[in-house]
């Protein structure tokens, strides 16, 4: 059974439906490759998949230890090759992790941080990417800033 249905809308754009949820996303070719850049490009989605897989997989493992990573953030940069064939050369991910336990911010111990950080390099998408795609993952832990006075 299919997971995604894609409708090519013309003008280098697609409408993609996740069949289980009915959620839609659109893609557009990037401006440097004949598109308008008005939506994620297919290669943007690959870089996005790596970032979301990293944080989701880390959150699954953190949850087992009673740790909530809500409020963590990732900045993802995709760098394409400058020569043909056109492909992703490097994906840079700057990950700021914020851990919470029982509603309070805290910094996990070194062993827990190391175990969770290892997951960033072994999530399913990371393992699926070709070895030629450099995955540069930088991880920083910080305590969440309390919004209560």
pLDDT in tens, the chain (149 residues): 999 999 999 999 999 999 999 999 999 999 999 999 999 999 999 999 999 999 999 999 999 999 999 999 999 999 999 999 999 999 999 999 999 998 888 999 999 999 999 999 999 999 999 999 999 999 999 986 655 54
**CB within 8 Å of 88: residues ≥ 6 apart:** 43, 46, 47, 78, 79, 80, 81, 133
Two structure tokens written together for 22: 């009915």
Three-state secondary-structure class, residue 51: helix
The model's pTM is 0.92
SS (H, E, C) 109-146: CHHHHHHHHHHHCCCHHHHHCCCCCEEEEEEEECCCCC
């Amino acid at each position: 059974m299919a997971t995604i249905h894609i409708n090519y809308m013309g003008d280098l754009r697609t409408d993609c439906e996740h069949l289980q949820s009915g959620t839609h996303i659109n893609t557009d070719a990037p401006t440097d490759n004949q598109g308008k850049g008005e939506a994620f490009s297919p290669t943007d989605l690959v870089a996005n998949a790596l970032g979301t897989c990293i944080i989701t997989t880390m959150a699954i493992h953190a949850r087992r230890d009673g740790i909530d990573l809500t409020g963590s953030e990732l900045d993802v940069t995709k760098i394409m090759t400058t020569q043909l064939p056109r492909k992703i050369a490097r994906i840079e991910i700057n990950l700021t992790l914020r851990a919470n336990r029982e509603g309070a911010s805290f910094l996990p111990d070194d062993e827990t941080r190391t175990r969770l950080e290892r997951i960033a390099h072994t999530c399913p998408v990371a393992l699926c990417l070709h070895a030629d795609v450099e995955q540069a993952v930088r991880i920083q832990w910080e305590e969440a800033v309390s919004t209560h006075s």
